Amino acid sequence: MNRTALLVVALLALAGGVRLFHLDDRVVWFDEAVSLLVAKASIPNIVAAAQDDTHSPFYYLALHFLPRGELAARGFSVVCGVLTVALVFLIGCKLGCSHAAPPACGMEAKRGSGAPRLQLLAGAVSAGLMALCPLHVWYSQEVRMYALQTLLVTASWWLLFISLERPRLWIGYALAAALSLYAQYTSVFALAAQWIYVLWFRRDVFRPWVLAQTGVALLFAPCVPLFMHHLLGGTFGYWLGKFSWTDPFRFLALLSGAIPKNPGPYWPWVTLSIGLLIVSVIRQGKKALPLLLWLLAPVLLLALASLRANAFLPRVLLMVTPSFALLVGCAAADKKGAVLAVALAAANLFALQRYYFAENLWTRSSLREAAQIVGRESKPSDAVMHSSRFSYRSFQFYLGDNVTQGLVRPGDDEPALYRVIGNGQLPSSAPRRIWLVLWPDFQQPGFHNQVLAEMNARRPRHREVFSSPQLLVMLYD
């Protein structure tokens, strides 16, 4: 095995190790539970359930064909994350000769020139930074479609770059771009960045580009009615507050030392990210422009779209994280730029330390532990009542059909989805014992306290089964 192969294996081992570390600490939260519950349904039901979702059924169909269970689903995201790191290495090798003389740039450079070494170093540094990217690690462990989307968007950029020299690969580009749209609709912002790049810098390939985009449109056409249904239904980001122009800057902090849901001070990391970005662009000049478009165009377009209805969520911008790693990695492909890579790697490691070891209820809640207790101690005549769907769906996954469960206040506004995974309606027959699960719900503030008071008034005899800062389980005879 030559040195390049050993380097690639080492980078992929780093990426895999970082994403497998503490993987079993993650607890299924609401969105992940919905993914797993929908995925185990039949294919027609998965497609039908998408009517009440904000995504196409593509990701759920992918999970459907995997082995059942949380570990397999998380492993799929890990694999998508590691493959993304591999693509970043290839793109870095393709683009990372910015400091070589122009005749030497390109993989066809003569043996003995400095370009191949610089390209290999740029690819390796970029892949190493991508392996440690805290935001990407987070979603490479989550049972959602964002790691898959990022892989497909990265594949589309890679195929775009090589299709400029090998026209036969335009078909591969069209397939990757169309699948990225199926994975998550916000991939359209990456396509917009690619349009700008071709029209601005590569008008010489305009004809094959238009043909490739026609292929993308034809491949995505079957999903257009569903997309329009989701778009016109106003289901995107309805739970978010009003958009603020500080949100894009806060997102930039997540590219270096901040971590979602536990960010600490944002502005030091915003400053670091912007500083690294500016220096990297200055060092690379025009060669940085496609990567800069990949990074900034989706962020700006999502911000503009959020002025009407806020949809500015970091997870839907995960697809731009490879561009930031590439910008810094390619700029750090020589001794003078090494400090850029060191600074970003140090910030990433700081964020990862907080991700793995700090308290964060979004990743390490007590839902699994409490569900296991209920599963062991419950009887067939019992019923589990939840004050919030955010605990109900997780318990529904962990307990399966072994325990009767439902919501104190069942929902009825998503009929297509509820036909597949249930609406939380309890049976009319009175259970012998009730397990009451109380979880604060931001959509119903204080409702869990109201439920507890009403239950205590009706059934004074009770026992506290489980208690944590956010979860309380009571047993009523």
Enumerate the domain spans of the chain: 3-357, 367-476
Determine the length of the chain.
477
Average pLDDT over residues 411-430: 84
Given this model, what pLDDT does residue 423 score? 87
Average pLDDT over residues 291-299: 97
Q: Is residue 65 predicted with pLDDT exceeding 90? A: yes
Given this model, what pLDDT does residue 428 score? 78
Q: What is d(CA 24, CA 150) in angstroms, rounded to the nearest whole number?
A: 23
Average pLDDT over residues 422-443: 87
Task: Among 68-72, 109-113, 210-214, 428-432, name the one with the lowest average pLDDT.
Answer: 109-113
Radius of gyration of the chain (CA): 24
Average pLDDT over residues 448-471: 88
Residues 331 and 283: beta-carbon distance below 8 Å:
yes
What angle in degrees, to the nearest 10, is found between the helix axes of 321-331 and 338-357? 140
Q: Tell me the two tokens of residue 329.
A: 């990695």
Q: Is residue 109 predicted with pLDDT exceeding 60? A: no
Q: Is residue 240 predicted with pLDDT exceeding 70? A: yes
From residue 31, alpha-carbon distances to 63, 291, 436 in Å are 14, 31, 22
Q: Which residues of 236-273 are buried (b: 16+ CB within 10 A; e: fewer)?
A: bbeeeeebeeebbbbbbbbbbbbbbeeeeebeebbebb
Most confident option among 229-238, 436-445, 458-467: 436-445
Q: Tell me the two tokens of residue 275.
A: 């500083």
Given this model, what pLDDT does residue 108 score? 43
* Higher per-residue pLDDT: 42 or 112: 42
What angle in degrees, to the nearest 10, is found between the helix axes of 187-201 and 146-163? 20
Given this model, what pLDDT does residue 457 score? 86
- pLDDT band for 462, please (50, 70, 90 cuts): confident
From residue 298, alpha-carbon distances to 46, 323, 398 in Å are 29, 11, 36
Q: Is residue 226 predicted with pLDDT exceeding 90? A: yes
Q: What is d(CA 348, CA 28) in angstroms, rounded to the nearest whole number?
A: 25
pLDDT digits (tens, 9 = 90+) for 18-57: 999 999 999 999 999 999 999 999 999 999 999 988 899 9
Q: By C-alpha distance, which of 113, 185, 173, 180 is closest to 147?
A: 180
* Higher per-residue pLDDT: 49 or 106: 49
- pLDDT band for 160, please (50, 70, 90 cuts): very high
pLDDT digits (tens, 9 = 90+) for 387-407: 999 999 999 999 998 899 999
* N-to-C CA span, the chain: 67
To the nearest whole percent, how much of the chain has pLDDT over 90? Answer: 73
Given this model, what pLDDT does residue 142 score? 97
> Order of strands, edge to edge, in the sheet holding 434-438?
404-407, 383-386, 434-438, 472-476, 462-467
Q: Is residue 198 predicted with pLDDT exceeding 60? A: yes
> What residue spans of 110-186 are helical by DSSP H?
115-131, 134-139, 146-163, 170-183
Sign of CA dihedral 306, 317, 161, 223: negative
